[in-house]
């Protein structure tokens, strides 16, 4: 029997493990520094970790569309849509991938978004460098591609969106 997955807010002592997962997940997610992850967590509308087996199995960092955030992919969505929650980073520790934890994080985010009266979840997935596992996960979860962009840091990304179920 698998241990339950608990979603909770990030605490300061979680940051080293989040950074380890971030580095392990690069280039699928933008690689951050200790200072960068601390700033992002502080600035974010929400920052969660998924805990199971007493370990941090993954994390999710997101912003409401009304937030003041400088991310260029976030700005793309903000110019084209309203009432959304944007997932800036989501990553799972390699040893916890394929165990449904990403779905648990997104299901909780969707419930949270519904309570905030958000109409959609938005995110980007790398096309170059490619991240086929993330793209497959997002498509299976109901996201659709609504655009593409080349980012200032040299990535080519698919811009994805999913309607929030109420």
pLDDT of residue 136: 95
Residue 90's domain comprises 6-119
- Rounded-to-integer distance, Cα 128 and Cα 114, Å: 32
The pLDDT value recorded for residue 166 is 73
Domain-embedded: residue 63: yes
Are the C-beta atoms of 88 and 114 separated by less than 8 Å?
no
Contacts of 90 (CB under 8 A, 6+ apart): 29, 58, 59, 60, 61, 102, 105, 106, 123
**Residues recorded for the chain:** 166
Q: Is residue 22 assigned to a domain? A: yes
CB 15 within 8 A of CB 37: yes
Query: CA separation (Å) from 90 to 79, 80, 94, 166?
Result: 23, 22, 13, 22
CATH number at residue 110: 3.40.630.30
Residue 55 lies in a domain: yes
CB 96 within 8 A of CB 51: no
Is 163 among the domain residues? no
SS3 call for 143: coil
- Exposure string (b/e) for 98-118, b if CB count within 10 Å is 16 or more? ebebbebbbebbbebbeebeb
Confirm whether 149 is domain-assigned.
Answer: no
Q: What is the chain's pLDDT, residue by residue, as a tens digit (166 residues)?
A: 467 999 999 999 999 999 999 999 999 899 999 999 999 999 999 999 999 988 999 999 999 999 999 999 999 999 999 999 999 999 999 999 999 999 999 999 999 999 999 999 999 999 999 999 999 999 999 999 999 999 999 999 999 999 998 7
Q: At which residue do the structure tokens 């003041």 appear? A: 68
Is residue 151 included in any domain, yes or no? no
* pLDDT for residue 8: 98
In a domain, 74, yes or no: yes
Task: State the Cα–Cα distance between residues 50 and 92, nearest whole angstrom.
Answer: 9
Task: Report the domain count for the chain.
Answer: 1
pLDDT at 1: 41
70 within a domain of the structure (yes/no): yes
Q: How many angstroms separate the CA atoms of 93 and 132, rounded?
A: 17
């Amino acid at each position: 029997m698998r241990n339950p997955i608990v979603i909770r807010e990030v605490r300061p002592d979680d940051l080293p493990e989040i950074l380890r997962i971030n580095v392990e997940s690069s280039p699928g997610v933008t690689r951050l520094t200790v200072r960068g992850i601390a700033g992002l967590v502080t600035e974010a509308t929400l920052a969660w970790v998924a805990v199971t087996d007493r370990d941090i199995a993954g994390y999710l960092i997101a912003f409401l569309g009304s937030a003041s955030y400088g991310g260029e992919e976030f700005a793309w969505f903000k110019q084209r849509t309203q009432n959304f929650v944007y997932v800036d980073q989501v990553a799972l520790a390699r040893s916890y991938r394929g165990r449904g934890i990403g779905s648990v994080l997104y299901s909780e985010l969707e419930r949270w978004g519904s309570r905030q009266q958000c109409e959609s979840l938005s995110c980007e997935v790398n096309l170059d460098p490619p991240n086929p596992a993330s793209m497959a996960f997002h498509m299976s979860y109901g996201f659709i591609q609504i655009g593409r962009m080349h980012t200032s840091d040299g990535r080519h990304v698919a811009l994805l969106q999913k309607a929030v179920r109420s």
